């Protein structure tokens, strides 16, 4: 693997701020970004990428390629929680297996953004419509996770367990981050180029700065959560690294099969490989209260997220390049 | 100047709505909530999560008649048992209340 | 009325984010912008428009037209609470009538900004000195409202009621939003073009983005407050729509009489039509505690504000255009 | 180890300054305030307003001698009566205090 | 339904970690903390400082057995004496607790 | 002294917003910037100046001049707390003298920024590497202050007093503001021009706006803290003005001796003259709890800070100009 790719990824300011956050936390510095400032950054990032994606999607239109990419994304969002669930059942009870499966079936918007940034340093720009894939992949895993839990969980004595599908769909499709991302995408779609000119200084120019600030905080949070995994045993930490690699590789193959450009192939792989630490944990806490959030939150936040932004992104890109070199015929 | 019960509940922040629904059904005259309570209990340290509302507690206080107190305790027992936290009760004197006394 | 004006107004990103907020709230999504972030946006907007207005005012100087516009604004700020009070007395007690009258006599800075944005999409730019009108119109209605309440309220048994005029003037002229707006205006006036160049990226470039964010929150808040009006009876909701239309029309006529340009005429009408949901409610709560904030806050925030930004602004502009077409002679 | 009174007041956030003025006049040794208390009472749900300080409560706690307690209750009665909220009193043991004991 | 002690501590926000260290050593079953408590005491008004964590208090509540209460009071006495604040204790009834009762 | 320098400094928007904040507070306006928004601004400013400084330092490299300037800065950071301590001991006990000495030995980043802004209005730009001096000067005074206190304080009866040097170094070198500033500087150093292009709109373009907002808040805070000094006696308020002047003058002389350019000389003097109201007070509270924060916080925040940004900066600049005029030989 080309180490210059890794290094190139690492010395990019946003990623460096992530390290700064981790270091600060390991040194027990009192640096902290008090609540609700992290929420300001995360809301901003969702709004900005949703809006940008919508504007791009309007430019591209629903081409052949877009439809293929979105279908592949949707397919993976449904597939991943299934096999993740059965792998996890080897060691875990139904509830935790379902919650972690949902976590890995869904996505992390910040991992997505970091991959875009990685491409930009190489002078490339992924199709903005991949943001639609991002939006599409956030919710299904939540629903699949809960379906799996209900199928395999031991039946409760008394039938009445206060469960309601409408609450699940509410949580899956109307939670804050999904709604803001999708809504901003639709607003971008509706307002097009003209709207873009209006908001560009806000949604594009200061974007990398806001991302750096947010990654600084993510570094602080990730380092803080690592300790929670001490009691998690020997199974979950490796899972939190191998699962994204597996998902990312399947993403690479799928992208190859449907003939995506290398840029878009990377975005698809990264979406498959990333795990949710915002929308899914919150939904699971309400819909699967039997699952332990001290397992799935630190896995996604403290292992998979850093792994992806440090090693994963250049790795998946390297694999895509290799695949394209080995099987050029499939292209074009 | 009326002896009443003060019910104090510490519970997962995500369950507050659940509890207030019960309080409204029982028909208590009011309640107060302090959000952003951190702490430690059987489930370890709960010091909040900056991105979600996980790992955070809320404090709910209800001043009510003794009879209501029993209803509240019974209503919320399953929630507290499931999601952790605690519920304590003490006797206080209501010195001023808007419409009662 | 030209529907393209309405549509043009509606597909503008900031207004679309307002709808997104309302929709999120109606779907019971958990999307929320936690405190004190809304305050960050509202402070930012006041600082930015005040500063911009000051810089513009310095460019224009105190021309004939400016003096006329400001006098008309002042006149309306004093007149509106009077007739509003007597209309409201039909159904309401003195205290609530006075508080609501003050609410409608004062202004909403965000409605003003949305109107500026509306004009910009038409390629027009209002005179920046209208920001001075905005600043001038914020406080007088508070004082008038309290005067009306003291004149018409039943006298208290014991003379001593803890009332103090100095506290009223304090609330009216030194409350946070008035002071920040006026102060920023004066700073803009003092620092002129040079200062503008320094702050432009902050106060102008990212302005629309901050406005979008704030309107997203306003949508959430407005939708949340609508429920409060259920117990308000049949009188107040129509009042909250008809009053701004009436005030807006008087603004149109007045602007015509003093010969304002169409752009400035729109700003004057919008100022007349808008109602305060920040400065006045806070002042009324302290100075007229007998009035019920669950009436005047939702009226201004959940009815008049959305009405103005959706229907009102294009409506007043249409009326101004019609008036100019019918009575061209009056112009220049 | 001294038996004292604990006065707890829940009141409109905008009236806090008013109450602390009285507490200072009475000369209590100290008080503590928790802002951002939401709740429900006779005036309906008070869950704050993001743009103003309306619709929000504060919690004030004063630990004092019984005699002071009576003065506090009388002093704030009109405010609580007018702006809602409540005032409860209970007996507690002061275990540690900076300069007393 | 078990009579227990409620220990309430108001202390300089910067000393909270210090106190929780002691609580963990004593082995209490849990505690709750409310940050951002302002107030007034012997050291004057403490209404926070927007840039540092100075001039701010925290409220710590521990529900525990009477025996533990005495240990807590002794452990934190020097901290409270040095950094101000207070510690009060009262009797309450534990109505619901996750694993006990 | 050239009054045009003072006026030029005063009518600059950021400084005007500082006055607005002070005025608002004196008028008892309810204008406030709720927590944790001030922290957002202060974190932003540290990140932005650190990053900018790092990028500049990479451009310059470790030249002769840079090494000289940094050594002088380090020298002053160690010297100032010594003589300040002995002056303060005239009236104060050991603990308070040590804490105040540390306060004046350390620096204020916002004073630094305001001086940069002052130079920019004159068309000058200080060497970005002076940010490294800023970072270097933040911590040593904390350590010196504590050493002084331990040397001169009466020995405690029982040897065990819970004191730990590692905690002191932790506080001095790893506190949030030091770490963020140094970390951002290193990130700027690592990512260079390319990184700068990425973050420029965030760290440079909106910088003056964020500074204005922050100074507005500093004005509010400073005015609020002035009252705390009523009980401080007649010694400390003059000290809080004369100490920075003395330190600033020593800075001017030192800069002259090592032949710094006028711009860099100003930065060095301002660093010497400024006093810390963030890092040092927090560290002192933990490491010297016997010292009274109601003395050193208001001195630094409510007297020295306003003095420096209003009078000090132009004054030190004037002195530098005079010195250069009188002893031109030393230059070049
Ligand atoms: N003994 C206790 N005293 C005070 N608060 C407690 C106690 N035990 C638990 N809590 C609070 O209840 C929350 C949930 O407790 P648990 O469900 O036991 O983890 C904790 O995070 C604390 O805030
Ligand atoms: N019975 C009660 N128990 C606890 N808090 C109450 C109770 N009644 C009222 N409150 C609090 O006091 C506030 C004002 O009450 P009210 O004036 O009755 O609307 C409410 O928003 C609650 O926070
Ligand atoms: N009598 C009291 N009642 C309630 N809170 C108090 C009392 N005395 C002190 N406090 C709280 O304890 C903090 C520190 O007190 P002190 O150390 O006396 O300045 C104060 O800021 C208050 O929040
Ligand atoms: Na995934
Ligand atoms: Na109006
Ligand atoms: Na200094």
Q: Ligand 2, closest atom to CA D42?
A: 18
Residue of B nearest to A284 (CA): B54
User: What is the average per-residue pLDDT within F142-170?
Assistant: 82
Alpha helices in C140-206 (DSSP H): 140-152, 165-174, 176-200
C162: left (phi over 0), alpha (psi -120 to 50) or beta: left
- Across chain F, what does the average pLDDT equal? 92
Determine how β-strand D44-46 pairs with β-strand E2-12: unpaired
- B101 by DSSP, 3-state: which? coil
**Which phi and psi (to 5°) does residue B6 adopt?**
-110, 120
**Which phi and psi (to 5°) does residue A45 adopt?**
-65, -40
**Exposure of F114 in the CB half-sphere (CA atoms within 13 A):** 36
- Domains along the sequence of chain D with CATH: 2-94 (3.30.70.120)
User: What is the average per-residue pLDDT within C198-221?
Assistant: 95
Complex ipTM, two decimals? 0.96
Task: State whether the beta carbon of B87 lies less than 6 angstroms from ligand 1.
Answer: no
Query: How many angstroms separate the CA atoms of F74 and F283, rounded?
Result: 19
Chain E partners (3+ C-beta pairs within 8 A) = B, D, F
Percent of chain E clearing pLDDT 70 (strictly above): 97
Residue of A nearest to B53 (CA): A282
Beta-carbon contacts below 8 Å between A and C:
82
How many angstroms is it from A206 CA to the middle of ligand 4?
Answer: 27
Query: How many angstroms separate the CA atoms of C196 and F16, rounded?
Result: 13
B30 and D42: CB-CB below 8 Å?
A: yes
How many angstroms is it from D81 CA to the middle of ligand 2?
Answer: 12
pLDDT string in tens for chain E (101-residue length): 789 999 999 999 989 999 999 999 999 999 999 999 999 998 889 988 888 878 999 999 999 999 999 999 999 999 998 888 999 999 999 998 875 43
Question: In this structure, which residues have their CB less than 5 angstroms from ion ligand 6?
Answer: F 274
Identify the band that residue F136 occupies on the pLDDT scale cut at 50, 70 and 90. Answer: very high
Q: Is residue A239 predicted with pLDDT exceeding 80?
A: yes
Identify the band that residue C289 occupies on the pLDDT scale cut at 50, 70 and 90. Answer: confident
Percent of chain C clearing pLDDT 70 (strictly above): 96
User: What is the average per-residue pLDDT within F175-180?
Assistant: 93
Q: Please tell me the distance in Å from C229's CA to the nearest CA on chain F.
A: 29
pLDDT digits (tens, 9 = 90+) for A86-138: 999 999 999 999 999 999 999 999 999 999 999 998 999 999 889 999 999 99
Please name every residue paired with E2 in a beta bridge, in sequence order, or none if there are none. Answer: E94
Q: Whose CA is nearest to atom 7 of ligand 2?
A: B30
Compute the residue count for chain E.
101
Residue of F nearest to A9 (CA): F191
Determine how β-strand D31-41 pairs with β-strand E31-41: antiparallel
pLDDT digits (tens, 9 = 90+) for C24-83: 999 999 999 999 999 999 999 999 999 999 999 999 998 988 999 999 999 999 999 999
Q: Ligand 2, closest atom to CA D38?
A: 23
Task: State whether the beta carbon of E43 lies less than 6 angstroms from ligand 3.
Answer: yes
pLDDT digits (tens, 9 = 90+) for D58-95: 999 999 999 999 999 999 999 998 888 999 999 999 99
> Hey, what's the torsion of the CAs at E48, F12, F106, F95, to 10 degrees?
-50
Q: Is residue F1 predicted with pLDDT exceeding 70?
A: no
User: What is the average per-residue pLDDT within F39-48?
Assistant: 96
The predicted structure's pLDDT at residue F240: 96
Percent of chain D clearing pLDDT 70 (strictly above): 97
Query: Which residues contact residue E17 at a Cβ distance below 8 angstroms, ignoring those fewer than 6 apart?
Result: none
Please name every residue paired with D92 in a beta bridge, in sequence order, or none if there are none. Answer: D4
D39 and B30: CB-CB below 8 Å?
A: yes
CA F258 to mean position of chain CA atoms: 21
C285 and D14: CB-CB below 8 Å?
A: yes
pLDDT digits (tens, 9 = 90+) for F215-272: 999 999 999 998 888 877 889 999 999 999 999 999 999 999 999 999 999 999 999 9
Identify the band that residue B101 occupies on the pLDDT scale cut at 50, 70 and 90. Answer: very low
- Across chain B, what does the average pLDDT equal? 91
Residue of A nearest to F42 (CA): A33
Of F20, F40, F205, the CB nearest to C201: F205
Query: How many angstroms separate the CA atoms of A17 and A26, rounded?
Result: 14
Interface test with C, best of F20, F24, F39, F116 (most C CBs within 10 A): F20
Beta-carbon contacts below 8 Å between C and D:
37
Query: How many angstroms separate the CA atoms of C213 and C39, rounded?
Result: 11
E96 and B76: CB-CB below 8 Å?
A: yes
> Hey, what's the torsion of the CAs at C42, C44, C49, C54, to 10 degrees?
130
Q: Please tell me the distance in Å from E88's CA to the nearest CA on chain D.
A: 4
Of F35, F180, F194, the CB nearest to A31: F180
How many angstroms is it from B56 CA to the middle of ligand 3?
Answer: 26
The predicted structure's pLDDT at residue C40: 96
Give the angle F120-F126-F130 at the CA atoms, nearest 5°: 135
Identify the band that residue C219 occupies on the pLDDT scale cut at 50, 70 and 90. Answer: very high
The predicted structure's pLDDT at residue A332: 45
Query: How many angstroms separate the CA atoms of A273 and A281, rounded?
Result: 17
Identify the band that residue A4 occupies on the pLDDT scale cut at 50, 70 and 90. Answer: confident
A232: left (phi over 0), alpha (psi -120 to 50) or beta: alpha
Alpha helices in C30-164 (DSSP H): 37-60, 64-89, 94-105, 109-121, 130-138, 140-152
- B43 by DSSP, 3-state: which? coil
Place of tokens 């509830």: A95
Query: How many angstroms separate the CA atoms of C116 and C128, rounded?
Result: 10
A39 and B49: CB-CB below 8 Å?
A: no
User: What is the average per-residue pLDDT within D42-62?
Assistant: 90
C24 and A198: CB-CB below 8 Å?
A: no
For B:37-96, CB contacts with A below 8 A are 43-44, 48-55, 82-83
Which residues from chain E sit within 8 angstroms of residue D94, using beta carbons? 86-88
The predicted structure's pLDDT at residue C332: 45
Place of tokens 């706006």: F209
The predicted structure's pLDDT at residue C159: 53
Q: Please tell me the distance in Å from A300's CA to the nearest CA on chain C.
A: 22
How many angstroms is it from B86 CA to the middle of ligand 1?
Answer: 6
How many angstroms is it from C249 CA to the middle of ligand 5?
Answer: 12
Q: Please tell me the distance in Å from B21's CA to the nearest CA on chain E.
A: 19
**Cβ neighbour number for residue A231 with a 10 Å cutoff:** 10
Query: How many angstroms separate the CA atoms of A77 and A141, rounded?
Result: 6
Chain A partners (3+ C-beta pairs within 8 A) = B, C, F
Please name every residue paired with D2 in a beta bridge, in sequence order, or none if there are none. Answer: D94
Place of tokens 């995360």: A42
Q: Which of A197, A185, A321 has the alpha carbon at shortest distance from A255?
A: A321
Q: Whose CA is nearest to atom 7 of ligand 1?
A: E30
- D32 CB near a chain C CB, below 8 Å? no
């Amino acid at each position: 693997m080309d180490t210059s790719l890794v290094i190139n990824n690492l010395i990019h300011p946003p990623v460096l701020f992530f390290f700064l956050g981790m270091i600060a936390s390991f040194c027990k510095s009192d640096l902290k970004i008090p609540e609700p400032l992290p929420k300001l950054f995360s809301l901003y990032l969702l709004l900005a990428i949703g809006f940008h994606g919508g504007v791009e999607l309007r430019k591209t239109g629903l081409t052949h390629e877009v439809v293929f990419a979105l279908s592949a994304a949707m397919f993976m969002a449904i597939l991943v929680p299934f096999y993740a669930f059965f792998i996890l059942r080897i060691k875990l009870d139904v509830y935790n297996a379902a919650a972690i499966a949902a976590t890995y079936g869904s996505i992390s918007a910040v991992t997505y953004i970091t991959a875009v940034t990685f491409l930009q340093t190489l002078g490339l720009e992924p199709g903005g419509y991949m943001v639609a894939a991002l939006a599409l992949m956030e919710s299904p895993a939540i629903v699949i996770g809960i379906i799996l839990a209900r199928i395999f969980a031991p039946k409760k004595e008394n039938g009445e367990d206060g469960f309601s599908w409408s609450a699940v769909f509410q949580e899956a499709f109307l939670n804050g981050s999904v709604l803001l991302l999708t809504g901003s995408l639709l607003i971008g779609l509706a307002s097009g180029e003209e709207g873009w000119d209006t908001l560009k200084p806000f949604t594009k120019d200061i974007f990398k700065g806001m991302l750096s600030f947010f990654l600084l905080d993510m570094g602080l949070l990730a380092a803080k959560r690592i300790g929670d995994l001490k009691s998690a045993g020997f199974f979950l930490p490796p899972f939190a690294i191998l699962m994204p690699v597996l998902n990312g590789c399947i993403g690479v193959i799928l992208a190859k099969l449907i003939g995506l450009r290398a840029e878009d192939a990377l975005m698809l792989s990264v979406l498959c490989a990333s795990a949710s630490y915002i929308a899914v944990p919150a939904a699971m806490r309400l819909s699967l209260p039997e699952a332990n959030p001290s397992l799935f939150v630190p896995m996604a936040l403290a292992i998979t997220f850093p792994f992806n932004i440090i090693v994963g992104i250049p790795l998946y890109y390297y694999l895509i390049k290799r695949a394209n070199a080995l099987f050029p015929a499939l292209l074009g | 100047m009326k002896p009443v019960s003060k019910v104090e509940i510490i519970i997962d922040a995500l369950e507050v709505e659940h509890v207030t629904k019960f309080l409204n059904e029982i028909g208590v005259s009011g309640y107060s909530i302090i959000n952003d309570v951190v702490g430690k209990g059987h489930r370890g340290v709960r010091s909040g999560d900056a991105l979600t509302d996980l790992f955070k507690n809320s404090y709910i206080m209800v001043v009510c008649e003794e009879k209501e107190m029993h209803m509240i305790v019974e209503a919320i027992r399953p929630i507290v048992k499931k999601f952790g936290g605690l519920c304590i009760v003490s006797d206080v004197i209501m010195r001023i209340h808007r419409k009662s006394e």
